[in-house]
Structure 1
Amino acid sequence: MLPNVILWVCFVALRFHHCAADLCSWTGGGFAAGLDSRIVLQVRLRCTEGSVRWVYPGQALRVVLEPNLSSSQRTTACIKPSPSFGGASVFIERAGRLELLVTGDGRPEQQKLFCFRVDGPHRPAIYIQASPQIDGHWSRRTMGFRYELLGNSSAAPNHGHGGLQNSCRPCNDTELLMAICNSDFVVRGYIKNVSHNSKRQTSLVEVSAGRVYWQRSGVFEQQVGPPRSSLSWSGHIHTLLQCHVKPGDGEFLFTGSEHFGEAWLGCAPRYKNFLSVYHDARTARRNSCDFPLD
């Protein structure tokens, strides 16, 4: 029976050098648990996103999310188990008690996200209990997950949270001007193709871009064609199936957020319409930030 109160904390794990701090991501092994079955490996992560990779998982792993910012700025946490995540149960620790989030039966669905509220006086902690070793032998496997802490205005992709529900309607001028300043990516380009996934209830927009103004990660990759002077970018943007996105002619300005290495659509006006809005705002000195127009 898994205890409701975790008694073995970092001073126990330190004997075997399995306590980590000030990290965004962690990779470690479960060998110490083989020496003492009472050990709960302790990890403290200090970023709003990262990953956990547990090699030769042993008894249990406790991951505390302690980002270097006010807890009021991040009210939801989401984790995305790795494809190899199986044979383990995941719990959320709240005030010393454990609430089951993922069962240890089989593997979680591919692309499945698990989100939970993290507001309150206590830092969120994720507790993973590995399945018992078979015949006392170590299982040669790796399990892990990626995590993100989201704010009220963030969209938890494919989980019914935040701004994704609003992405189906066109952005007004104010929202558009804010999007070019605050989005994780801003890309100017064309829609090459749109594919739909009824199981995930999402659509995938294939984009050919002539200009990437900025992006938080490498979602959009540069392509070099013949001749070498012909440079372009390509990438994919996710959105909800209910938005009924279709391939269309014309140049667009794509903005949005990035979650778990995926781009999610925010405002996406036609570029000529954006230029009109931006010029009017700059003339009236209402633009939220300067935007390159070359």
Structure 2
Amino acid sequence: MEAERGLLPALLLVLLAAGGQQPGAADYCSWRGSGLSWEPRSRAVEQVHLRCTEGSLEWMYPARALRVVLEPNLSSAQHTTVCIKPASDFQGASIYVERAGRLHLVASPQKDISRRTASFQYELLGNQSAAGPDFKKMTLVKAMCRPCDNMELLMAICSSDFVVKGSIRNVSHDSENHMSQVDVNVQKVYRQKNRIFQQDEASGEWRGPIRTLLQCKVKKGTGDFLFTGNEHFGEAWLGCAPRFKDFSFIYHAARERRANPCEFQLN
């Protein structure tokens, strides 16, 4: 393994199955350290254990290898997906994922080892059936570029990270990063995980950005919508977004049939 011989700094990510976490172990979500604190002549690989489902890592002056062991408490998940978002100024190391004792490169190696920073955010998603708690993650993928059916719409208000009523203020496209951004004028925030939708101090209006894939070819539409979706790395990503009047009709019809999966106050 080249990283252990000191040829290139490397980040080695290892995901352990649920149960690897020791009882009573602290939840270390993030780590920040420096290669300058290590013994220069040592070839030992530094180990970092992270026990949350999301967090970040910042490695200053990377040297040799840093082995990051992810031990989340996802006991109900049969499989786990690891999402990594390198910082915009990520420099100085290669990222490998270790599976069954073998290394798989997921980020191109840096030939200039004088570069000083290697940092990224991580997010772990448990893969379960659509009826489980992680239905919202599956909904994000399924609904990204197509209209949701009625059941998906009804489930979206129950399980999404954010649910807001509003209109489209502007749509911009970023071809380099393959995504579009929908700027929303918000009339009502029913739910949000974090403060992505906030009140503008100058105008007093509530606004917020929602992202989606460029391939979805989102265009500006008129009228009010019910925007739902999930947060990833502090950003809102679009899930189901029906016209508000259409969703209101679907929800009230389901409620009369007692087929609504959860109670939701649309008024």
Q: Normalising to structure 2: TM-score of the pair?
A: 0.80
Shift of 1:30: 2.2
1:44 aligns with 2:53: no
1:85 CA displacement = 1.5
Residue 252 of structure 1 corresponds to 225
- Deviations along 1:207-248, one digit per CA (max 9) or x if unpaired, are 11021111122222222446xxxx432111111223221111
Please state whether the residue corresponding to 2:157 is helix, strand or coil.
helix
Q: Is this contact kept in 2: 1:48–1:149, CA < 8 A?
A: yes
Residues 1:205 and 2:163 aligned together: no
- Partner residue of 1:61? 66
Per mean C-alpha deviation after superposition, the further-off stretch among 97-106 and 168-177 is 97-106
- CA–CA separation in structure 1 for the residues paired with 2:126 and 2:35: 33
Q: What runs of 5+ residues in structure 2 fail to find an aligned partner? A: 6-24
Tell me what 1:22 maps to. 27
Superimposed CA distance per residue, residues 63-93 of structure 1 (whole angstroms, 9 cap, x where no aligned partner):
1111111273553211111122212111111
Conserved 8 A contact 2:4-2:45? no
2:145 corresponds to 1:144: no
The number of residues matched between the two structures is 241
Q: CA deviation at 1:100?
A: 1.7
Alignment correspondent of 1:273: 246
The answer for the alignment partner of 1:291 in structure 2 is: 264
Gaps of 5+ in 1: 5-19, 107-130
- Would you say the 8 A contact 2:60–2:118 is kept in 1? yes
Q: Secondary structure at the match of 1:256?
A: strand
Q: Secondary structure at the match of 2:249?
A: helix
What CA distance in whole angstroms lies between the structure 2 residues aligned with 1:84 and 1:199?
A: 16
On the 8 A contact 1:21/1:43 being kept in 2, the answer is no
Q: Please tell me whether residue 219 in structure 1 is matched to residue 220 in structure 2.
A: no
CA distance in 2 between partners of 1:164 and 1:249 (Å)? 25
CA RMSD of aligned residues (A): 2.7
Instruction: State the shift of 1:103 in Å.
Output: 2.4
Q: Which amino acid aligns with 2:254?
A: A
Q: Does the CA contact (< 8 Å) of 2:140 and 2:237 recur in 1?
A: no
Counterpart residue identity of residue 125, structure 2: L
- 2:147 match: 170
Partner of 2:20: none
Note the C-alpha offset of 1:3. Answer: 5.1
For 1:292 and 1:225, locate their aligned partners in 2 and report how far apart those are by CA, in whole Å.
29
**Match in the other structure for 2:104:** 99
CA offset digits 1:24-80 (Å, max 9, x no partner): 111222233235522322111111111111233332211111111127355321111
CA apart distance, 1:198: 2.2
Residues 51 and 70 in structure 2, CA contact (< 8 A), matched pair in contact too: yes
Q: Counterpart of 2:177 in structure 1: which amino acid? A: R
CA distance in 2 between partners of 1:2 and 1:31 (Å): 17
Partner of 2:8: none
Report the TM-score when normalising by structure 1. 0.73
* Partner-residue secondary structure (3-state), 1:255: strand
Q: Tell me by how many angstroms 1:254 deviates.
A: 0.2
Letter in 2 for 1:143: A
Structure 1 residue identity aligned to 2:236: A
In 1, Cα distance between the equivalents of 2:263 and 2:76?
A: 30
> What is the correspondence of 1:172-191 to structure 2 with a 5 Å cutoff?
172-191=149-168
For 1:23 and 1:88, the matched residues in 2 are separated by 22
